[in-house]
Amino acid sequence: MVRMESGLGIPGDGRCLFRSVVHGACLRAGKPSPSESIQKELADELRSKVADEFIRRRTDTEWFLEGDFDTYVKQIRKPQAWGGEPELLMCSHVLRMPITVYMSTDSSDGLKIIAEYGQEYGKENPIRVLYHGYGHYDALQMPLTKTKSKWYMKS
């Protein structure tokens, strides 16, 4: 469990998953947080690459997407289309980085890991995103210090 001090607010514009992932990728690479306009541009670029990755991996992904595959991929290319678990998995492949998804817990203002993607690209220093449970994602920033198996966030 992780104690949360604050998340990094990501606009809820349909791109929040992609914005959170690109924000986390920048932090992971030691780059400064991208401005909102750069974040939006990078999110749209990542979205396009994710759609292409679905097509490249069609035989592996078609069975777990809801509805018709071609319709799904066409829809996910639209900037206002929400992303979810399938898109997080494809993000990990596109970026070749692990992604860890957290969700708030009711106990002592903490977080728990609810999903991990891209473990084949390593397990250290994953991109971290916070899922709010109603379709919104935020970026998480974690320091490199650890105490008693709890990570403490900084804003």
Active site members: 13, 16, 136
Helix (H), strand (E) at residue 138? strand 137-139
131 and 21 in contact (C-beta within 8 Å)?
A: no
110: nearest Cα among 10, 16, 5? 5
50: nearest Cα among 18, 81, 10? 18
How far is residue 29's CA from residue 71's CA, in Å, rounded to a whole number? 34
